[in-house]
Structure 1
């Protein structure tokens, strides 16, 4: 298993994403900042120090947490001043720049007044009692862990903030290390669906996507013939024929994501439906219209869209409507199905159509899938059974934390998600997650620059030791210019560097020379037109992946789309994991089996690029 890693992200990237709504490309336009003379360029992560409690006295802990939580809230509220390049219009004067109305962090990190409490009930109650916390549990089933441990969603019923409650739990447990208790904010989550920009920053936006998502329409014959499945990709197909015998039979893949379908449910009760999706290309003959994709779709009550971050901000800040990427999960599922066509695929809708979700909803999805598989296997977990032995969990989504969470009075780890994934892997699950698309740029304001040729570490949960984190590789076996580092890489497409094409006609390559932004993924060729996507242009197919979608106006009509990002590299690895499980590889050895069949690549792509032909 891989070693634990230190996650690194940047505040300035989040600021750039807020402004990217005005650009025609997925990538934000470079900020009006040039490298600071004499600043050292490095790609080495910071060293994490073991924290020490401020005190073992609850009164002193309370005073400390009150102070730093207020400081963190103040830092979250800072509103940046945009630059000409940030907005994408170099002909504007500084006085003419629109002033942003919102901070890139305030109200965008977590659901207000909600915390997730993880651990033993007695220990949690001891912390609550020490500070007379007023917490109210909702009408939700707890998320189960090992040895009676649980994760519960709690509403804060007094005047304390999310930051303060998290701090009180953290400091009290540091002072009393025998206690098993932790508090996390109920973080917002969104999918790793874009090439370029943080896939988890809630103000991020793809300004040029198809209704339902995607970067243009693909021909039905392109799916199984796309480069990502052939010799330039994972080696699944060879001259139109499947090159491997394994099919994933007997393995179940859970995709936690968006879904274009709705299944009416009772409040708080999940429901599932067996669904056959028209598959426009027959997987054996190549003829259209003769195959089906069997899915089990799950509807979990999604986050309230009225509380989703960014809902009112598109118009207030940058005059944009809400995005629709409801096809993201189906696109992911179709790629997993291509690799492992006889596996059973569950598509769990844990995100809204615009990609909004929260951590507790994702945990509920994991729990419902675990319960379903346990019941199906008639497993007795307490008796040592491993009911998830033949399962793969695909997470093309993640939690976005600031690079310096302590500055914002936030915990440095996400205990609830980490503990739940630990428990599921102990039951036999293989977890695969997208590394993220943050690495188009380095932080132009940092005292220590990150080398633009060195990507950032994976985001949460891909960074965790029990998860296979997947980076995106390109047609020519390089890193996708947006991709973070991963444990392994798979085809995810690519963008263009600014030396190849400027992101906007008003920006010449010379105008951006010296800036650290160095990767864009174009949407429409002409942003005034709703047609002519860049991926559709002849010769550009090798920059993009092809997957399945449905017409938002007619959910029975299927089509193929182009898309780019680590989100879509991830299901290729999930499919390969299903093949290895079918072949009898133990769950805790699947990662090694995958790493043992790769093409060598740069160290930033982990063990290499997956290749079934090796």
Structure 2
């Protein structure tokens, strides 16, 4: 994978686009003043549309047809009357009470049964504005809503926001960004080496990012000096930035919570630390470390290195999956076959390639048979905007920045997995992977070796189905022969 390059950009304080596109959806599924996704989803409406072949173009259907419709309504304790004719010749009937979709569909079946004059019957559903965040830079988050390569999240948010789901961001740690901290849970720092941790200590309960800046030659002979990436903060913001707070950006699963697991620091992180972090994040036991009080159902790993999937990595993946956690991993950023990129090539993980704003494969993205699907990661100057920190070495002020990479595509998929699990907590990791891979649309541009397609969040939430609420079960390194840890997968490319 490629070495990292990064740059912070000031918040573009532009008002979010209105984007009040309408969809045919149940009236009860969206209510102002109610958290999106929290309202009851049993649809109701008080109108029925009927198309009669013989009454096409007539002001009203015949008396016998109206009488039959009235009798069918009366059998359900309702009164029905003809309201008006549509432009296409169909007719709208008004009921004196609202009915569920199931009731209306049964009425439609009875109207069609034995009457060849009925062409079709359908409920007259109520359209509502899709949930549109008021976050000031939402309009710049093309990956969430644009028709070409966006995730179709506004429609999905009316059904699920990720509430009740915990996502572990296994990365550089996080900063307590004002647009993120309300959705952060206590995490853990799994870095054992103080030279890597850069915070003066080894493993401890402080998962805050101390900065991963380096000096020239520090990681390996000839390595360049780098500024701190604050990569984990960017990834966490993509997953679950606080949304609807009239500040900054929106998160994919803003109803979910993030457990930060710090495994990457100066020059990257050891596989052994990453593996322990994965097991702990999912609720497993790690020697000498207190149990995670908030086991995650989704693990996001925007990291990796070259080589085959090690036994250590595979054991950690297996342990996490056994506890019900979905493991989502970046494919890598070297524009090569991901078959030689770990842990993207481990069994049982959801491996994510990146597309740019056109929907074509991002120039840097790895590809190949191990890739499951693709999501927006940015390319050609159109990056992914998320939370960051302005410090070049040690922490500074809150900021926002555009980053590009499979590191950015991965949290989009992890966030959508959280939306699915919130809607149906009974899904297994295999269920989630299968339904994610099926909830895609064709690539708008060339993306060979990018898996089954481009993720569609709304289709994924629909594919999750529904289930009873259950308790949650228990930018890319360049590998070198240097004894120092591999360079982190943190930020992969810069945007502008």
Per the normalisation by structure 2, the TM-score is 0.54
Q: Measure, in 2, the Cα distance between the counterparts of 1:598 and 1:306.
A: 39
Q: Measure, in 2, the Cα distance between the counterparts of 1:560 and 1:333.
A: 12
Q: What are structure 1's unaligned runs of at least 5 residues?
A: 1-197, 262-275, 281-290, 379-386, 402-411, 441-454, 496-539
Answer whether contact 2:185 2:260 (CA < 8 A) is retained.
Answer: yes
Answer whether contact 2:143 2:149 (CA < 8 A) is retained.
Answer: yes
Q: Measure, in 1, the Cα distance between the counterparts of 2:433 and 2:309.
A: 23
Corresponding position of 2:236: 333
| Alignment of structure 1 residues 389-428 onto 2, 5 Å | 391-401=297-307, 413-428=309-324
Deviation readout 1:86-129 (Å, 9 max, x if unpaired): xxxxxxxxxxxxxxxxxxxxxxxxxxxxxxxxxxxxxxxxxxxx
Corresponding position of 2:353: 471
Deviation readout 1:405-432 (Å, 9 max, x if unpaired): xxxxxxx541111112112112211000
Matched, 1:581 2:421: yes
Q: Secondary structure at the match of 1:594?
A: helix
Answer whether contact 2:279 2:320 (CA < 8 A) is retained.
Answer: no
Is the alpha carbon distance of 1:345 and 1:458 closer, same or farther for their aligned partners in structure 2, counting shifts above 3 Å? Answer: farther
| Alignment of structure 1 residues 55-70 onto 2, 5 Å | none
Q: Secondary structure at the match of 2:167?
A: strand
Is the alpha carbon distance of 1:599 and 1:351 closer, same or farther for their aligned partners in structure 2, counting shifts above 3 Å? Answer: same
Is the alpha carbon distance of 1:577 and 1:306 closer, same or farther for their aligned partners in structure 2, counting shifts above 3 Å? Answer: closer
Larger radius of gyration: 2
Q: Relative to structure 2, which stretch is displaced further, 225-234 or 562-571?
A: 225-234
Counterpart selection for 1:255 from 169, 187, 190 = 169
Deviation readout 1:568-596 (Å, 9 max, x if unpaired): 00000000111111121333200111122
Deviation readout 1:304-350 (Å, 9 max, x if unpaired): 3279998662699658434422x100100011111111111011111
| Alignment of structure 1 residues 486-497 onto 2, 5 Å | 486-495=371-380
Counterpart selection for 2:278 from 359, 366, 372 = 366
Is the alpha carbon distance of 1:413 and 1:594 closer, same or farther for their aligned partners in structure 2, counting shifts above 3 Å? Answer: closer
Corresponding position of 2:260: 347
Report the CA distance between 1:399 and its aligned residue.
Answer: 2.9
Matched, 1:612 2:457: yes
Answer whether contact 1:260 1:555 (CA < 8 A) is retained.
Answer: no
Matched, 1:430 2:326: yes
Corresponding position of 2:114: none
Answer whether contact 2:317 2:348 (CA < 8 A) is retained.
Answer: yes
Answer whether contact 2:280 2:292 (CA < 8 A) is retained.
Answer: no
Answer whether contact 1:490 1:610 (CA < 8 A) is retained.
Answer: yes
Q: Measure, in 2, the Cα distance between the counterparts of 1:306 and 1:613.
A: 40
Counterpart selection for 1:544 from 383, 393, 402 = 383
Q: Secondary structure at the match of 1:279?
A: coil
Is the alpha carbon distance of 1:321 and 1:292 closer, same or farther for their aligned partners in structure 2, counting shifts above 3 Å? Answer: same
Q: Measure, in 2, the Cα distance between the counterparts of 1:428 and 1:258.
A: 24
Is the alpha carbon distance of 1:481 and 1:367 closer, same or farther for their aligned partners in structure 2, counting shifts above 3 Å? Answer: same
Corresponding position of 1:565: 405
Deviation readout 1:51-94 (Å, 9 max, x if unpaired): xxxxxxxxxxxxxxxxxxxxxxxxxxxxxxxxxxxxxxxxxxxx
Q: Measure, in 1, the Cα distance between the counterparts of 2:361 and 2:223.
A: 34
Is the alpha carbon distance of 1:463 and 1:218 closer, same or farther for their aligned partners in structure 2, counting shifts above 3 Å? Answer: farther
Q: Measure, in 1, the Cα distance between the counterparts of 2:278 and 2:319.
A: 11
Q: What are structure 2's unaligned runs of at least 5 residues?
A: 14-135, 199-211, 241-250, 460-496
Answer whether contact 2:216 2:223 (CA < 8 A) is retained.
Answer: no
Corresponding position of 1:164: none
Is the alpha carbon distance of 1:254 and 1:458 closer, same or farther for their aligned partners in structure 2, counting shifts above 3 Å? Answer: farther
Q: Measure, in 1, the Cα distance between the counterparts of 2:161 and 2:326.
A: 17
Q: Secondary structure at the match of 2:186?
A: strand
Report the CA distance between 1:464 and its aligned residue.
Answer: 1.7
Q: Measure, in 2, the Cα distance between the counterparts of 1:552 and 1:302.
A: 24
Is the alpha carbon distance of 1:295 and 1:224 closer, same or farther for their aligned partners in structure 2, counting shifts above 3 Å? Answer: farther
| Alignment of structure 1 residues 437-448 onto 2, 5 Å | 437-439=333-335
Report the CA distance between 1:236 and its aligned residue.
Answer: 4.1
Answer whether contact 1:303 1:357 (CA < 8 A) is retained.
Answer: no
Is the alpha carbon distance of 1:594 and 1:230 closer, same or farther for their aligned partners in structure 2, counting shifts above 3 Å? Answer: same
Corresponding position of 1:219: 12
Q: Relative to structure 2, which stretch is displaced further, 220-229 or 588-597?
A: 220-229
Report the CA distance between 1:603 and its aligned residue.
Answer: 4.3
Report the CA distance between 1:230 and its aligned residue.
Answer: 1.0
Answer whether contact 2:165 2:297 (CA < 8 A) is retained.
Answer: yes
Is the alpha carbon distance of 1:419 and 1:473 closer, same or farther for their aligned partners in structure 2, counting shifts above 3 Å? Answer: same
Q: Measure, in 2, the Cα distance between the counterparts of 1:611 and 1:573.
A: 10
Deviation readout 1:213-271 (Å, 9 max, x if unpaired): x4x33415334641111133343455xx875420111111001111255xxxxxxxxxx
Deviation readout 1:136-176 (Å, 9 max, x if unpaired): xxxxxxxxxxxxxxxxxxxxxxxxxxxxxxxxxxxxxxxxx
Counterpart selection for 2:178 from 254, 259, 278 = 278
Matched, 1:298 2:298: no
Please provide the CA RMSD for this pair: 3.4
Q: Measure, in 2, the Cα distance between the counterparts of 1:317 and 1:251.
A: 43
Q: Measure, in 2, the Cα distance between the counterparts of 1:224 and 1:377.
A: 36
Corresponding position of 1:592: 434
Report the CA distance between 1:469 and its aligned residue.
Answer: 0.2
Per the normalisation by structure 1, the TM-score is 0.44
Larger RCO: Structure 1 or Structure 2 (Cα < 8 Å, ≥ 6 residues apart)? 1
Report the CA distance between 1:357 and its aligned residue.
Answer: 1.0
Report the CA distance between 1:358 and its aligned residue.
Answer: 0.4
